[in-house]
Amino acid sequence: MSVTKPKVNLISLGCSKNLVDSEKILAIVATNGGAICDHPEDAEVVIVNTCGFINSAKEESIDAILQTALLKENANCKKLIVTGCLAQRYKDMLQTEIPEIDYIVGLNSFDKIANNIFATGKGKDKTKTGAKKMLDANCREDLKNLKLARLTPPHYAYLKISDGCDNRCSYCSIPSIRGGYKSRKIEDIVQEAETLVKTGVKELNIIAQDTTLYGRDIYKKQKLGELLNRLSDLSGVKWIRLLYTHPAHFYDELINEIAQNSKICNYIDLPIQHINDEILKRMGRGVTTLEISTLIDKLRDRLPNLVLRTSIITGFPGETSKRFDELVNFVESVRFERLGVFTYSREDDTRAASFKGQISEKAKNERFELLMALQQRIAFENNEKMIGRKLKALVDELAIIEDDSGGDDFSVKKGDDVWMCRSYGDAPEVDGNIVVVTSKKIRQGSFKDVTITGMDGYNLLGDIN
């Protein structure tokens, strides 16, 4: 007698590190007989993988849970499973405030999700008892051997090399949610990368809470440079991109590996968070203004045509007008090629939440707008300098254009396709694109030589050579 596979949909929220967790969850579901479907309205079971890092992320996660809860009344949905950082951090609150949740699964219990999908127990008491039990369970050791269910396009993937964090920044709740830094073994990471390459992946985006610290816990020394070297030996890999580095943990061997390894993109994601020494100290960043400046100079000296991305936090407690001006002047002088700005979020159970000198929301938002306007000017000026250059571009996706106008500076003729491409200087999902309008037949995931012909805001325009 055949058994119908339950239809399962997963809503993934938050960062790329959470996306990798979602891929593992889907792999578990598929391995245990679930049928993955694309739309929550069609699913019998909906899993919400939440983010709980800052207030805006928590609000988005709760909204997604509530929207999914409505499906239990008006659609096929019979079970709502919640996991991820918000579930780990606020499990008691979620159980009390949103009774429509059937199961809450902790970050170390992904392998229990399949049990919940097929469980037949009913009633509030059984549901909540099960949820508490699963939060305490340990993840199976063989979880790492499951084939990932991909949520990115076929040609690129995120490769998570560790979990947790030891940095203990005063504003950050990640260590209390995910625990201390836990590196994966080099052999396991390379094995996963080999599997990804076999499925067509050409670009590996290396992620962790702090990629530069990789290896210190299990090898007693930092080994990111060695890991990158091993990954570059895989013949199918064309680009390796380094994300989430920490300015306090860069080391010369790593810089040398990036400089001499042609497969590693000259693109560094280096969140500095601030530049004033007192703010850096209060943040617990373990690095000074001089050390950040010296590192940036060294990276730009050693890595030709380096594209440097950073993120900064404004409105941190104690950020006086003078200290904010110092940050503005630094951004103006360094001219980061890519930059993201966040307003400080006062998070429960963090040291910074009790700091004196909290900044008003109005001041935070004004400073945010000023920094974003400054960076927009810098980004547009940098884009203008790219016109006329030839770049190798990775063809990402075919865009859907609803009318005959692709933007202020380009138009689409009948028979043309609009492709979104990326250079080595653009990380997927967070950076800009090279927009290519062409009647030529090109394939997603292929590399093309592109001449930059113009710009459209943060995007560049290009022609295929």
Q: For the segment 389-401, what is each residue's pLDDT rounded down to a tens digit?
A: 999 999 999 987 6
User: Per residue in 338-359, pLDDT tens?
Assistant: 999 999 999 988 999 999 999 9
> Range(s) for CATH 2.40.50.140 in the chain?
390-464
Burial zone of 444 (CB within 10 Å; 0-12 exposed, 13-18 middle, 19+ buried): middle
pLDDT at 148: 59
Record the tokens describing residue 399, joined without a space.
């865009």
Q: Residue 410: what pLDDT?
A: 63
- What is the CATH code for 390-464? 2.40.50.140
- What is the CATH number assigned to the segment(s) 7-141? 3.40.50.12160
- Measured between alpha carbons, how far is 385 from 297 in angstroms, rounded to an integer? 21
β-pair partners for 455: 460
Q: What is the pLDDT of residue 256?
A: 97
**Cβ proximity of 105 and 94 under 8 Å:** no
DSSP string, 254-276: HHHHHHH-TTEEEEEE---B---
Q: Order of strands across the sheet with 156-160?
A: 156-160, 203-207, 239-242, 264-269, 307-314, 338-343
Report the chain's terminal Cα–Cα distance, integer Å: 58
Residue extent(s) of CATH 3.40.50.12160 domains in the chain: 7-141
Q: Which stretches of the chain score pLDDT less than 50?
A: 1-2, 121-145, 404-405
Looking at the whole model, is its pTM more than 0.85?
A: yes
Task: Please tell me the CATH code under which domain 143-386 is placed.
Answer: 3.80.30.20
DSSP conformation class of 352: G
Residue 146: predicted pLDDT: 54
pLDDT at residue 403, as a whole number:
53
The residues, ordered by sequence, that sit 6+ positions from 146 with a Cβ below 8 Å of its Cβ are 24, 27, 28, 31
Are 200 and 445 contacting, i.e. CB atoms less than 8 angstroms apart? Answer: yes
Question: Rounded to an integer, what distance in angstroms lies between the CA atom of residue 283 and that of residue 350?
Answer: 11
For position 331, what pLDDT does the model report? 98
